[in-house]
Amino acid sequence: MGSMNPSLRCIFGFLALLLSALLIQTINATVSYDHKALIINGKRRILISGSIHYPRSTPEMWPDLIQKAKDGGLDCIQTYVFWNGHEPSPGQYYFEDRYDLVRFVKLVKQAGLYVNLRIGPYACAEWKFGGFPVWLKYVPGISFRTDNAPFKAAMQKFTEKIVSMMKSEGLFEWQGGPIILSQIENEYGPMESVMGPGAKSYANWAAKMAVGLNTGVPWIMCKQDDAPDPVINTCNGFYCDYFSPNQKYKPTMWTEVWTGWFTAFGGAVPHRPVEDLAFAIARFIQKGGSFVNYYMYHGGTNFGRTAGGPFIATSYDYDAPIDEYGLLRQPKWGHLRDMHKAIKQAEPALISGDPTMQSLGNYEKAYVFKSKDGACAAFLSNYHQSSSARVIYNGLRYDLPAWSISILPDCKTAVFNTATVKEPTLWPKMTPVGKFSWTSYGENTNSLDDNSFTKDGLYEQLSQTWDKSDYLWYTTYVNIAQNENFLKTGVWPYLSVDSAGHALHVFVNGKYAGSGYGGYDSSKLEFWKSVNLWAGSNKISILSVAVGLANVGTHFENWNIGVLGPVVLSGLNEGKRDLSRQKWTYQIGLKGENLGLHTVSGSSSVEWGSAYAKQPLTWYKAYFNAPAGNDPLALDMSSMGKGQVWVNGQHIGRYWPAYKAYGDCSACSYGGTYNEKKCATNCGDSSQKWYHVPRSWVNPTGNLLVVLEEFGGDPSGIALVKRTT
C-alpha cells in the first residue's frame, strides 16, 4: 500500500477511537444478576417498579403518569405487550395511538426510568382473551400454551417481532435504552400440573426460545418454580416474603405486588389499605428481596371491548397509587413514596449481604443488614394483628404499631413505619358539569339483512363473530296450531334458554320478552320466562351478548360463549318442544353497529327521533361542549342499565350500572392478612358508576356522545362530571 493521506489517517484514527469507545461502553453497559440483586453497569440495585399498561391510558396521559411514578420514588416501569392489539389479523401489525409501544418505552427513558417488558405474549391481565388475538383460536390444530407446534410457531414469531423492534430502536439497556428485564410466558407454573404431559416441555421450550433471542438483559418467568437457567423465577401475590428463587445464585424478585384487585360487574369494589401494602413490601425487603413491582401503579381503563372476563368492569383502577384518571390516590401514593425513600437510604447495606434475624419478642423481630465498610440497616417488625409493641434494639426503645415494620437506614433512627401514615387522606370528588339533550334511534329487532345466514342447530357465538361484535342474533320460527290450549286460557307457554353467553335479550315477533344474565363466578346463563305467542308462525329472536372473553384458565381457547341450548318451549299441548336442532338464522352485530352510529358520519345516516326512556336496544345521541380546565372527565351512567358508550367515535367501554354489587362490605382493618374480598365497597350499589372520558378525546365544542342501551335505562339521568381531589 502507498502512504496514506494525512487527512484520511486522521479520520480513520478518529473512527477507530470512536469504535473503541463504543465497544467499551457496550461492554460496561450490561445487566446481570447475582443472588443479591440485579446488577446494572456493575452495581447492585434495589429496584422499585410499577405497572402502567400503555393501552389502558392515552398517549397524552403517558408523560404525566410516568413523571408521577418517578416522583413517587420508582426506578422502573413494567408493562405487558398486548398481542391482540398489535396483531389484530395474522401478519397485519398495529403500533399506533394507544398501542405505540416504542413511543411509550422512549418516554420512560426520557424520564430516566428503566423498563421491565413483559412480552409474554400471554398476559392474562384481565384483558380480552388473555392478550391472544381471536384469530389464533382458529389456526388449524392449535392448542394454547402447551407443546403444540402451531401455537409455538405463532408465539415465537410475535416474540421475535417485539424483540427485533426493540433492538432496531435501540431500547435495550446495552444499547443505551431503558429495558433491563424481559419476561416470557406468565404465571404458567401453577398450570403445569393440569395442562397435561406437554406442559413442562412447553415451559422449557419457551425459556430456551426467549434466551436465544439475545436481548442482552435477563429473562424472568413469574410463578415458574422450575424456570430453567439462566431465567429467573419470580413471585406474584399479595405477599411474597415466603418466596425464594429456585437457585441460590438468582435474586429474589417480586413482579406483581397486588395494590388492590380488579372490579367485576356484579362484584364489590376491592381496596387494599396502604398500611398493609407497605407492610408486605417491607417484609419482602427485610428478608433479602431486591426488586418489587406494584401491580398496578396506574391501572387505567379497559377502553372499548378490551376487558377480559367474563364480566370484568371497564374501570381497571385496581386501587392503585395513581387512580384511573391519572390523579394521585392519597394517602397511598405519598405513604409509599416515603417508604421508597427509606429503602433507598438503606440501599448500601441492603445490597452488601444477607440479613441476620434477631427475636425481639413473641411477634417482634429485627432483620439487620451490615456491609464491610460499616453501612447498617435494620427492619423492626411487629406481626401482631391488633396490638402495638415496645421493643429494645441495640439498647434503644422503639414503639411498633400492630402489623407494622419500622425502617432504620442507619440501625438507629426509625425514619419510616409502615402503619404510621402521615399523608392526609384526599377523597375524590365527582362534580356534575353538564347534562345532555337526547335524540334516539330504535334498533330493529324484527328484521334480518343480507348478511344473515341460516344453519341447522345452534352454533357457538365466537366461531361466528370472531369477536367483531359483542352481539349475535339467533333467530328461529315456531308454528303454533289453532287448537293450542294456551290460546284459550291465556296461560302462556314458557321459553327456556340455556346459554354460555354472558347476557341475552329475547324478542318474540319483534316485541321484547325479557333478558337474562349470568355472573362473574358463573359459567352458565339460564333464561326462563312466559312468552306471548299467536296461532301460526312466530319469530323468536335471541340476542346473545358477550361481556369480555376469558383471559385465564386451562385451554380457555376451548371455552364457549353464546346460545348452545337447549332452547325449549313448554306448556304446549304436546308438552315440551325442543327448538335446538331446527334451523336458526344468524346475524352478527347490531344494525346500528353496521351503520356506524357511534361515528359522526354514521350518526348522520339515519333519522333520529325523540328520546323515549326505558326502551330496550335503543341508541341515544347528544352533543356537548367540554368544560373549562384540565380536570379529568367522566360520564355518570348510574341511570342506565347496560350497554356501550362512545365519545367522538372513541369507544369509552361497556357500562352496566344496573348490575348491583354483591359481597362483604363490612368494616375494614388494615391488620391481618389481606385478600381481594377484604375492605370492599359498593355492596348493593353499582359496581361501576363513572366511566372515564380522556380529555384528549374531547374537543372544546361540538362533541358527539352516543350510547347504546340494551336493557332500557333512562338517559335523562346521564351527566358529565369532572374528577378532583
Question: For 715, which DSSP code?
Answer: G
| Residues 390-424 pLDDT 10s | 999 999 999 999 999 999 999 999 999 999 999 99
Report the range of poorest mean pLDDT among 3-17, 88-102, 510-524. 3-17
Asked whether residue 127 falls in the same domain as residue 241, the answer is yes
- The domain in which residue 413 lies consists of 352-425
Q: Is 561 inside any structural domain?
A: yes
* Active-site position among 160, 187, 192, 484: 187
Number of domains the chain contains: 4
Here the CATH number for the domain that contains residue 633 is: 2.60.120
Name the packing angle between helices 274-286 and 332-350 (round to 10°): 10
- What pLDDT is recorded for position 522? 67
Q: Which of 262, 143, 126, 253 is nearest to 198 (CA)?
A: 143
Element containing residue 483 per DSSP (H, E): none
For the chain, what's the residue count? 725
In the predicted model, what is the mean pLDDT of residues 7-32?
46
Contact criterion met (CB below 8 Å) for 186 and 124: yes
pLDDT band, residue 8 (cuts 50/70/90)? very low
Contact criterion met (CB below 8 Å) for 499 and 469: no
- What pLDDT is recorded for position 612? 80
pLDDT value at 4 more than 50 = no
Q: Which of 515, 507, 697, 710 is nearest to 619 (CA)?
A: 710
Asked whether residue 612 falls in the same domain as residue 688, the answer is yes
Asked whether residue 582 falls in the same domain as residue 663, the answer is no
Asked whether residue 246 falls in the same domain as residue 184, the answer is yes
| Residues 245-299 pLDDT 10s | 999 999 999 999 999 999 999 999 999 999 999 999 999 999 999 999 999 999 9
Asked whether residue 720 falls in the same domain as residue 676, the answer is yes
Amino acid code (one letter) for 579: L
Asked whether residue 146 falls in the same domain as residue 240, the answer is yes
pLDDT value at 559 more than 70 = yes
HSE (CB half, 13 Å, CA atoms) of 121? 26
Round to whole Å and give the CA distance between 160 and 595: 38
Q: Is 79 inside any structural domain?
A: yes
Asked whether residue 549 falls in the same domain as residue 665, the answer is no
Asked whether residue 384 falls in the same domain as residue 532, the answer is no
| Residues 587-627 pLDDT 10s | 999 999 999 999 999 999 999 999 887 889 999 999 999 99
- What pLDDT is recorded for position 523? 66
* Active-site position among 87, 126, 185, 256: 256
Select from 589, 623, 658 the last residue of a domain.
589
Asked whether residue 566 falls in the same domain as residue 454, the answer is yes
- φ, ψ dihedrals at 175, nearest 5°: -95, 0
Active-site residue flag, 187: yes
Three-state DSSP class for residue 130 = helix
In the predicted model, what is the mean pLDDT of residues 203-232?
98
Contact criterion met (CB below 8 Å) for 216 and 237: no
Q: Is 406 inside any structural domain?
A: yes
| Residues 518-556 pLDDT 10s | 887 666 899 999 999 999 999 999 999 999 999 999 998
Here the CATH number for the domain that contains residue 468 is: 2.60.120.260
pLDDT value at 37 more than 90 = yes
In sequence order, the 6+-apart residues with CB closer than 8 A to the CB of 244 are: 252
Q: Is 487 inside any structural domain?
A: yes
Active-site residue flag, 484: no
pLDDT value at 10 more than 70 = no
Asked whether residue 458 falls in the same domain as residue 495, the answer is yes
Asked whether residue 244 falls in the same domain as residue 107, the answer is yes
| Residues 48-60 pLDDT 10s | 999 999 999 999 9
| Residues 471-502 pLDDT 10s | 999 999 999 999 999 999 999 999 999 999 89
Three-state DSSP class for residue 603 = helix
- What pLDDT is recorded for position 16? 41
pLDDT value at 678 more than 50 = yes
Instruction: Identify the residue with better confidence: 4 or 161.
Output: 161
Average pLDDT in the chain: 94
Asked whether residue 302 falls in the same domain as residue 360, the answer is no
Round to whole Å and give the CA distance between 605 and 608: 9
